[in-house]
Amino acid sequence: MPNRTIAILTTALAPLIWGSTYLVTTEFLPPDRPLTTALIRVLPAGLLLLAWTRRIPKRSEWATVVLLGFLNIGFFQAMLFVAAYRLPGGLAAVLSSTQTLMVLVFTWLIGKTMPPKAAWAWSAAGILGIAMLVLSPSARYDGTGILAALAGAAAMALGVYLSKYRRTSLPVLAFIGWQLFIGSLFLLLVALLAEPPLESLSPANIGGYLYLCLFGAIFAYVLFFNGIVNLSSAAVSSLGLLRPSESFRRPFIEA
């Protein structure tokens, strides 16, 4: 099997895993704790990867690592869980999938390269098709949740674009670990300011947090950033359209 095909298949697992975030959040986690949930997801994952790799960015690389840690992890995870707590899973995932179009916009505006018309058409068609599958007429539309989902998609799209072109000397695991750790520092600050401490956790809560940390953070981000290294930004972002395919299973589970 060609290396590109392997890269596409493995990278595609990341958005499929991330699509389950909405179900796990609403069914297994304590209510009204989006920032705390984001922090618990990424801080342990970042510390584990840093302890494993034991690599430090060069002085000239810190600005890149901090910027990407904020975009890809800190701000994105905060907005992701605000949307997950306030919107139905299908709607949140569809709004997040607009990241595909946003990457094309950044490629055009920042990279001064106009993506092919087919890329625009396929991205728009993909989002529209998924929306037709997962959106329900009875879905509740929360303005804050919608803005959070779109803001998170924009941050991740910019982060994906910059990750492709602002490389560092760090191995992939160390690169991910530093982003997770730096992003978690931002989340720690805002969580302490905006949310009360968690009370006692049930076994279901603990299981949900473990899943989000081990699979939703470490495993999925390793696959995703490996894809960024081996594929184009547009190709990686287009795989994000798979995220709602996992989210829209919830209505069938509940039926």
What percentage of the chain carries pLDDT values higher than 90? 44
CB atoms within 10 A of CB 202: 11
Work out the mean pLDDT of the chain and round it to a whole number. Answer: 85
For the whole model, what pTM was predicted?
0.85
Cα–Cα distances (Å) from 45 to 168, 180, 203, 212, 214, in that order, read: 20, 7, 20, 10, 7
Q: What is the pLDDT of residue 138?
A: 65
What percentage of the chain carries pLDDT values higher than 70? 88
Of 10-19, 82-91, 244-253, minimum mean pLDDT range: 244-253
pLDDT digits (tens, 9 = 90+) for 20-32: 888 888 889 998 8
Is the Cα torsion angle 94, 253, 221, 46 positive or negative in sign? Answer: positive
pLDDT digits (tens, 9 = 90+) for 41-80: 999 999 999 999 999 999 999 999 999 999 999 999 999 9
Single-letter amino acid, residue 126: G
The DSSP symbol for 195 reads S
Contact 186, 67 (CB under 8 A): no
pLDDT digits (tens, 9 = 90+) for 176-224: 999 999 999 999 999 999 999 888 899 999 999 999 999 999 999 899 8
Angle at 125 between CA 103 and CA 87, to 5 degrees: 75
